Every structure is written in structure tokens, then in C-alpha cells.
């Protein structure tokens, strides 16, 4: 399988995140990638496809914010990574405020995703990596892997959050549509619900979003991922959430996967994109499922049996020591 990665993704390196009321080392750190690369031979760097495919998903005001947030932070006399601390409640009228703190309130939904000096560059090259893997599949490869980080599935059209800044899988899905594919499916198997991806395609019938994740009643991102979120307008029926309780192991996970793959088959997509998070692993420090390293091979084999051209986009996974093994296990199932 073709594996894509760009070392400039490592330049994004926030120091700390707010976790359970205190500041702790940032869980989504560049060391995650080093562990994966140790198990993956022959990664290929993406060519630069520019900002146009990114702007098909993210609005210009949000992109301008993301590019300038750290510079504005420094200009405001602040040290360290840029982060928000105030958020407007849902339904407040739009105010286009210039103060950096107000902009974070407008363009983010949590305090877990600081913008560091090189965040734009890291996120930009993660998106390019996803686009390169998509092109490989559009050009006939049965499957390709995009080693993306920062991850993307929590980022919406005009917001960041959950360690995510640009929605890599959404950018890739749109690129497939723009290349002439009529129907594209996204299967999100990260531990956390991919709220950004869901939001982006919620009212569209050409992109099916199916997600298996920890029940948002108990787990981040709380406000999305409930089973009654089924899509809107033309997208009604093209969004399927399968929330599972904490402690879920392979037996129950497989039942959910069967349902997910059944709905994907019924949609008859031309391309499948998989948001793959290894944070469903039993040893993950911030997650509560009980999958074992060898389970990832079986999950991938079942996805592969759908017999669709497949782009695999890396999302979460924070048990750094096991991450390479878990990714290698997943990829070996294809
Ligand atoms: C990103 B991805 C818990 C903090 C949770 C955000 C988790 C983002 C996960 N106290 N922080 O889906 O793996
Ligand atoms: Zn996750």
C-alpha cells in the first residue's frame, strides 16, 4: 500500500493542553508520528496541491484566522501557544470582533487545541498528505494511507477543536467529488465522534458519514454524535452515528461495524474514506474502549471486504508506544 507523509507536519507542536482542570503535556505530540514511522517503510511526501482544495471545505475568514492567530497572539504581547478562553453560547448574534480572544471564541469550540507558531504549516501539510493519498486511489490504487497529524475530524468548516485544525478527511472527500465521483462514504472509527466531518456534510446527500464512537453522553465531544443525528435536507439519511458504551471490546464493536458496513454498501459509494483512530486501543490513556492490537487487523479486513477503493486517513491514538504496532496491524488487514 502507498503510504504518504510530510515531515513538515511535525512542526506543529503545542506544549500544553487544558485537561481535567489543569495543564498537562499536549497528548497529540509529534512523537506519535515517530513511533508510526518506525513501523512504516517507504513513505512518500505529497506534492503541493495548494490552498484551493482546502478552501472547498473551510471558509476564507476561518483560514485567515488560522494562519494569523499565533502572530496576533504574539502581537498582543502574549507568550506560548495561542488559545481561547471565552465562547459565545449557541444562538448569540454574530459579531465580527477583532480581539484575538474573541476570534478564538468564534472559530473554536474547546480549550484543548492551542495554535502554536507552526500550526498552520503542520495542518496544511497534513491536508496535502490526505489529498495525495486520495489522488493515488483515484488513479487506481486499491488503497492508500495518509499519515496525517494534526488530525482533522473535529474541525468544522469554520472552527477548530479536539487537536484538529483542518478537516483532512473532508478535504479529501470533497477532492474525490470534485474529481467526478458521484457518491463518497466516510467511515469514522476513531474513539471520538467526528463532529467536524458530520457538520460539514450534514445537509449533503453525496457524502455519507458513518461513525462508530464512544457515547457522547459520557465522552468528548458531548454535543455531537448522538444516535438521533441523521442528517438534514438533502443529507437526511446520509449520517449514521453508532455510539457505544465505555468498556466496549471487540465482540460488540464488530456488531457495530457490521451495521456501519451494511449502510455503506446500501449507499453504493464510488470511494470509501476511513478516519482511522487507534485510540479505541485498550491501552489508550484518554479513551475507554478495549480493542487489542490484533483486533485492528480484523476490523481492517472487514472494511477491506467492502471491496471499495479506500483512502485511510490517520486521526487519533495516544498510546504512543503501541501506536506503530496498532497502525501496522490495521494496515495489514487491507
Ligand atoms: C481527538 B481525536 C479529556 C480531554 C479530551 C480532546 C480529545 C480530542 C481527541 N479531558 N480532549 O478524536 O483523537
Ligand atoms: Zn479520537
**pLDDT, tens only, 265-320:** 999 999 999 999 999 999 999 999 999 999 999 999 999 999 999 999 999 999 99
Confidence category of residue 222, pLDDT binned at 50, 70, 90: very high
Residue 91: is its pLDDT beyond 80? no
Residue 193: is its pLDDT beyond 80? yes
Residue 90: is its pLDDT beyond 80? no
Pocket residue to mutate for ligand 1, from 20, 25, 27, 222, most atoms within 8 A of Cβ: 27
Over range 129-149, report the average pLDDT: 98
**Are 161 and 113 a contacting pair, CB within 8 Å?**
yes
**Cα–Cα distance for residue pair 56/173, rounded to 1 Å:** 10
**Cα–Cα distance for residue pair 40/28, rounded to 1 Å:** 19
At residue 41, the pLDDT reads 82
Task: Name which residue sits closest to atom 12 of ligand 1, judged by CA.
Answer: 192
ipTM: 0.96
Domains recognised in the chain with CATH numbers: 2-14+27-58+118-332 (3.40.800.20)
Confidence category of residue 92, pLDDT binned at 50, 70, 90: confident
**Cα–Cα distance for residue pair 74/253, rounded to 1 Å:** 45
* Ligand having the closest approach to the CA of 197: 1
Catalytic pick from 58, 153, 154, 213?
154
Residue 88: is its pLDDT beyond 80? yes
From the alpha carbon of 113, which atom of ligand 1 is closest? Answer: 6
> For this structure, is 154 an active site residue?
yes
In sequence order, the 6+-apart residues with CB closer than 8 A to the CB of 90 are: none
**Are 113 and 160 a contacting pair, CB within 8 Å?**
yes
At residue 32, the pLDDT reads 97
Residues having CB within 6 Å of any atom of ligand 1: 19-20, 112, 151, 154, 162-163, 190, 192, 220, 277, 279, 286, 315-316
Residue 131: is its pLDDT beyond 80? yes
- Give the whole-number percent of the chain exceeding pLDDT 70: 100
How many Cβ atoms are within 10 Å of 282's Cβ, its own excluded?
16
Amino acid at each position: 500500500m502507498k503510504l504518504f507523509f510530510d515531515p513538515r507536519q511535525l512542526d506543529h507542536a503545542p506544549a500544553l493542553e487544558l485537561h481535567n482542570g489543569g495543564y498537562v503535556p499536549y497528548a497529540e505530540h509529534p512523537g506519535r508520528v515517530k513511533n508510526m514511522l518506525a513501523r512504516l517503510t517507504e513513505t512518500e511526501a505529497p506534492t503541493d496541491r495548494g490552498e484551493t482544495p482546502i478552501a472547498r471545505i473551510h471558509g476564507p475568514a476561518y483560514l485567515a484566522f488560522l494562519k494569523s492567530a499565533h502572530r496576533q497572539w504574539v502581537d498582543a504581547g502574549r507568550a506560548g501557544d495561542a488559545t481561547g478562553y471565552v465562547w459565545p453560547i449557541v444562538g448569540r448574534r454574530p459579531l465580527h470582533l477583532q480581539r484575538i480572544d474573541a476570534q478564538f471564541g468564534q472559530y473554536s469550540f474547546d480549550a484543548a487545541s492551542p495554535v502554536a507558531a507552526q500550526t498552520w504549516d503542520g495542518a496544511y501539510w497534513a491536508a496535502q498528505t490526505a489529498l495525495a493519498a486520495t489522488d493515488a486511489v483515484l488513479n487506481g490504487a486499491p488503497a492508500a494511507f495518509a499519515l496525517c497529524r494534526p488530525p482533522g475530524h473535529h474541525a468544522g468548516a469554520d472552527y477548530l477543536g479536539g487537536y484538529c485544525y483542518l478537516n483532512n478527511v473532508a478535504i479529501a472527500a470533497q477532492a474525490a467529488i470534485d474529481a467526478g465521483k458521484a457518491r463518497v462514504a466516510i467511515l469514522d472509527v476513531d474513539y471520538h465522534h467526528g463532529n467536524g466531518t458530520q457538520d460539514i456534510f450534514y445537509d449533503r446527500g453525496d457524502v455519507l458519514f458513518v461513525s462508530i464512537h464512544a457515547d457522547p453522553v459520557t465522552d468528548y465531544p458531548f454535543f455531537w454524535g448522538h444516535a438521533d443525528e441523521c442528517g438534514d435536507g438533502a443529507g437526511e439519511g446520509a449520517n449514521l452515528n453508532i455510539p457505544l458504551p465505555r468498556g466496549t471490546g471487540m465482540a460488540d464493536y464488530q456488531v457495530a461495524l457490521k451495521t456501519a458496513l451494511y449502510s455503506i454498501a446500501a449507499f453504493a459509494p464510488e470511494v470509501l474514506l476511513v478516519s482511522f483512530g487507534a485510540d479505541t486501543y485498550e491501552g489508550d490513556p484518554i479513551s475507554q474502549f478495549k480493542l487489542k492490537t490484533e483486533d485492528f487487523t480484523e476490523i481492517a479486513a472487514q472494511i477491506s471486504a467492502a471491496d471499495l477503493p479506500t483512502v485511510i486517513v490517520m486521526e487519533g491514538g495516544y498510546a504512543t508506544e503501541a501506536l506503530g504496532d496498532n497502525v501496522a496491524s490495521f494496515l495489514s488487514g487491507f
